[in-house]
Amino acid sequence: MSDTATTGRAATSARPAGGRTVRRERRTDWRAVGAFVLLTAPMLLGLGLFKYIAIGWSFLLSFSDARGTVDLGDWVGLENYTFLLQDEAFRSSMTGIVAFTIFIVPVTFGIALGLAVLLNGLRRGRAFFRTTFLIPAAVSYVAAALVWKMSLFNGLPSGVANTIGEFFGWDVQPWISSTDPPLYWIVIVTLRLWLQIGLYMILFLAGLQAIPVHLYEAAALDGASRWRQFRHITLPMLRNTSVAIFMLILIAAFQAFDEFYNVFGTAAGSSAAPVRPPLVFLYDSALKDQNYGVGSAGAFLLTLLIVLVTLLQGRLVGFGRKD
């Protein structure tokens, strides 16, 4: 009884006469702060040293005549940028990647969305097909490119593509080295679609499963067809998901490198290569020719192009706008 009374008096005395609650100041737990700093410091140090400082150093190199060295000093201003904009090989690579992007982005988007809609409508086997389509996303681009080059489209009569073509009465095709017609585009496009469609299909599937089912039920009761349901329910509800996926596909298309470099081999770096995307051009300039100034300038020009196209696309579709 005495302990209870003492506790009650202590609690009563802690309250002010007006009956208002007094807010106690929260003390900083320096042990928790120290633990947070200790655990995050290695990551932040590595991120700052190998990413942000490296980006800043590369930006300064783009204004330097850095040949065979990454030291700053011989400043040339915008000469590296001017050289690239006047260089026929660089402009051709930029034109080629823009054409590739214009084609591959809507194709990847459409196939991924179509597969997601079909998969979402399945009642059985959804997990199996979801895993099957997602597995290629975990495959290395280098390994997949070598399989496409050395097995599927190797240009030999025993190759998979030529074997299938022979069944339909087609002639043996060189595929990768063919320029008339440019069959190498079939190799590049099928490789990229196989690698990327599964990931974007999963993202679309997540967006589809977030749409309330009662919207479709109400539309079905009103006699709406599946096409009208897709047009007036699915597409509007997938708006933000679609814009985000479109941006991801767009950026990935401009950053294409591994499939081109490994499919065409050493020819990818030569001016006679049928397709030479900007990253291959910059790889040769910076690492093979050791002209780090020109390579850095080209990297920032490509980055600027990606940012401008992404902002334009976001502006057109109203990304981030509240409905």
| Secondary structure of 192-254 as H, E, C letters | HHHHHHHHHHHHHHHHHHCCCHHHHHHHHHCCCCHHHHHHHHHHHHCHHHHHHHHHHHHHHHH
pLDDT number for residue 20: 57
Residue 102 is which amino acid?
Answer: I
Q: Measure the CA dihedral 190/317/239/232, to 10°.
A: -100
Residue-range domain boundaries for the chain:
97-261
Does the bond joining 181 to the residue before it have cis omega, within 30 degrees of 0? yes
Q: What tokens appear for 179 in the block?
A: 């320029």
Residue 243 C-alpha from the chain's centroid: 13
pLDDT number for residue 151: 87
Residue 299's nearest CA partner among 96, 73, 57, 77 is 57
H or E element: which one contains 252? helix 239-254
**Dihedral pair phi/psi, residue 67, rounded to 5°:** -115, 115
- Report helix angle 239-254 to 184-209, nearest 10: 150
Q: What tokens appear for 128 in the block?
A: 């199996």
Residue 306 is which amino acid?
Answer: I
Predicted TM-score (pTM) of this structure: 0.77
* CB within 8 Å of 283: residues ≥ 6 apart: 257, 261, 269, 295
pLDDT number for residue 108: 94
What residues in the chain have per-residue pLDDT under 70? Answer: 1-26, 266-275, 318-323
Place of tokens 């599946």: 226
Q: Report the CATH fold assignment for 97-261.
A: MetI-like fold (1.10.3720)
pLDDT number for residue 178: 73
Do 104 and 188 form a contact (C-beta atoms < 8 A)?
A: no
Rg of the Cα atoms in the chain: 29
Do 47 and 271 form a contact (C-beta atoms < 8 A)?
A: no
Spatial distance between the Cα atoms of 10 and 2, rounded to a whole number of angstroms: 12
